[in-house]
Structure 1
Amino acid sequence: MKTTPYARVDQTAFPLITVTFTGQKSTNANFKAYLKDLDDCYFAQQKLAIVFDASKAVVPMISHQILQANWLKDNTSLMQDYCKGTAYVIPNKTIQWVLKMIFLLQKQPVPYEVFSTYKDAQVWCWSQLQKN
């Protein structure tokens, strides 16, 4: 049975990657698929920046928040080597709180900012990519 994605990862504008949360509830299958898609972003081992568009995101289960924190911990050096920054589009205060909780579990290893619009997040990511 095919699961509905928790998030879609779009690399068509690489080195700018957009992760769009679909609004689907997190399940073990779709959350693990999302983390696998994040892994795949680093396959080329080239500099990149990521916009996480959480405009439609729903709060993931606590176990999935822990998985996300563990993913950050396990991939800290990879992110520090290749990710120039992550921008989060989060108009929802609850989702902003969840992000803060994840970062309490595991510090974000690269520069990041939270924005209310995708365009502002995209502009910030492109500026991060221009930095040495």
Structure 2
Amino acid sequence: MKSYAIIDESEFPLIHIRFTGNKSTDQNFRAYLDETKACYRSEKRLAIIFDASQASIPALSHQKMQAQWLKDNRDLMLKYCAGTAYVIPNPVIRAVLSMIFSFQNQPVPYQVVKSLEAARRWVDSLDLIEVKK
């Protein structure tokens, strides 16, 4: 199976999720969602940078899976995620993100930017110390 995304937790509490450009399949997309949820296992405040610079457009069924994941994990995100930055230089991929958010709103603060540097600056401004009670 070719990975849809690679998750790097080496800078925790900052998580990097880089989309590989591989086509979404039921198997690799489910693995991406499961691995993303696993980032919350420590139950500590975190922030995520999604690097979609190389992303392929996920199938509509996978966009809906992503929206359902946001709905199912809303409380987990509200409690532990300070925010998410999306690096999306491609306007088509930005439109896909908007479509996903039309199915289900993003429950935490987020920023869509065109570079990793801009994403890092935004994430660095977030409060990663306290977990909401």
RMSD: 1.0
Q: Give the superposition deviation at 1:26.
A: 0.1
2:111 aligned with 1:113, yes or no?
yes
Residues matched between the structures, number: 130
For the residue of structure 2 that corresponds to 1:122, the secondary structure is: helix
- Please point out which of 76, 79, 85 is paired with 2:77: 79
Structure 2: where are the runs of 5+ without partners?
none
Structure 1 Cα separation of the partners of residues 108 and 91 of structure 2: 22
Q: Percent identity?
A: 52
Structure 1 Cα separation of the partners of residues 129 and 115 of structure 2: 22
Provide the TM-score with structure 2 as the length reference: 0.95
Tell me if the contact between 2:13 and 2:128 (Cα under 8 Å) persists in the aligned partners.
no
**Per-residue deviation, residues 52-72 of structure 1 (Å, max 9, x unmatched):** 000000100000000000000
- Please point out which of 84, 87, 90 is paired with 1:92: 90
Structure 1 Cα separation of the partners of residues 40 and 128 of structure 2: 18
- 1:14-25, aligned counterparts within 5 Å? 14-25=12-23
Q: Give the superposition deviation at 1:129.
A: 3.1
**Per-residue deviation, residues 45-92 of structure 1 (Å, max 9, x unmatched):** 000000000000010000000000000000000000000000000000
Moved over 6 A (4+): none
Structure 1: where are the runs of 5+ without partners?
none
Q: Give the superposition deviation at 1:131.
A: 7.3
Match in the other structure for 1:67? 65
Match in the other structure for 1:11? 9
